Amino acid sequence: MQLFNNYHHHKIYKMLHSDFWLFDLSIWIHVFARSLVAVFIPIFLLQMGFLIEEVLLYYIILHLTNVPLNFWAGWLTRRIGARKVIIVGVVFLILFFASLYNLEVGNWWLLAMMAVFASLYDAHYWVAHIFFFMKCSDKDDNVSKDASALSIVKQFAGILAPFFGALVLIFFTQKTLLGISILILCLSFWPLFKIKDIDDKPKGKGKTIKEFFSDWKTSKEYLFLALYSIHSSVESTLWPIFIFMLFESLESVAALPIIISLSTIIFTYLTSHIDKKNRNTMIALGAVLIAITWIFRMYVDNTIFYYFSVFLVAFFTILITLPLDSQMFENGEKKDALDTSMYRNTISMSARVILLIVLFVMVKVFEVGFIAAAVSMFVLMIVNLLFRVKGVSALKKSI
């Protein structure tokens, strides 16, 4: 029995001190600090007196500047390594929080700077940290379990942070919450420097856009990502604004990421065990279920359903993101891990900025956004089935 206990104690100790779990710890701290504020950002802007159109313009600046910055972040990662680029990204996030701390209605210069700081953070942090994840993962042929572990870590932080953030906002101020977020962000650096066995500098020069997207299998994955990103943008930006304008309380918005995180944690582990050959089926199923949910959201006027739909969409989202990320990461390891991370963020942001520009010129922002989210999911399902049933040659002819 003593031998058994010693063995498992050693195994647990080794796991908790492994590079992958140190990386996950850094991500957890970072996501917790960011999630304290992230869901409330459009709400803060509305409360200050900015119009919905002005909030959309803020997001357009953020996403539009982000697209070219991803290539800069990829180049910088090759030069100085992922760890340092992650830290650069967090520094820009701190500058973003500091700008939000001092923002007042009518200060367009500072609002534009906020968008640029958010863009610089996103490009540096997400390009570098996804690459670092692929280097820390030891399952090159099937990364589903590591991808699900990373998702669970992020969502566990997503449960606690909005609840804690809402409490701070109720009893204190926005500035107090921003100060706490900045302090916690700085703590996320420590686990990164404890990772010793991972070379965080990519080898080689990387591939050109033409070389990277030379095969239809890769192009298909990024087409799926672009279509999914349209829904994701509406879900993460418009839906919280819709809920806030409907119920006019911070608590109503804080509940959204908590529900999402609970749903994600419950179902992510289960879906991570689905066989690789069923991944495309999962993606198609998730897409059609999300599309149906958006249709119901447009016609069912019920508070309970609004929140229950968030739980459902979070579950259906896993059916898309987990197999899609796993496929992209596995193929990325064969091509170039950093290029995979860089193009992943670039394609996602490009799809989002197109949607936001369309919404900016529309009068009925919510109706158009919800329809766009539903249509993008139906198209994703159709394209997915087209690839599976008719193959690549049929898709080429249809295009």
pLDDT of residue 5: 37
Any idea where the domains of the chain sit in the sequence? 2-398
Is the confidence at residue 366, as pLDDT, over 70?
Answer: yes
Q: How far apart are CA 148 and CA 155, in angstroms?
A: 10
Give me the pLDDT at residue 202, please.
78
Output the pLDDT for position 257: 75
Q: Tens digit of pLDDT for each residue in 5-43? A: 332 333 333 444 466 778 778 888 888 888 777 777 888
Query: Please, which pLDDT band fits residue 143 given cuts at 50, 70 and 90?
Result: low
Mean pLDDT of the chain: 81
Q: Per residue in 191-232, pLDDT tens?
A: 877 777 677 777 777 777 888 887 777 888 899 999 999 999
The model's pLDDT over 349-363, given as tens digits with 9 standing for 90+, comes to 999 999 999 999 887
DSSP 8-class letter at 206: -
Q: Mapping DSSP to helix (H, G, I), strand (E, B) and coil, where does residue 249 land?
A: coil
Rounded CA gap, 85 and 263, in Å? 32
At residue 77, the pLDDT reads 92
Chain segment 48-78, per-residue pLDDT in tens = 889 899 999 999 999 999 999 999 999 999 9
Tell me which of 84-98, 129-143, 218-232 is least confident.
129-143
Residues 6+ apart with CB under 8 A from 9: none
Q: CA-CA distance, 65 to 353, in Å (whole number)?
A: 10
**222 phi and psi angles, rounded to 5 deg:** -80, -25
Output the CATH code of domain 2-398: 1.20.1250.20
pLDDT band at 1; cut points 50, 70, 90? very low
User: If we measure between CA atoms, which residue out of 326, 342, 353, 327 comes closest to residue 268?
Assistant: 326
Q: Which residues, 6+ apart, have CB-to-CB distance to 243 below 8 Å?
A: 252, 253, 256, 306
Whole-number pLDDT of residue 146: 64
The reported pLDDT for the residue numbered 397 is: 52
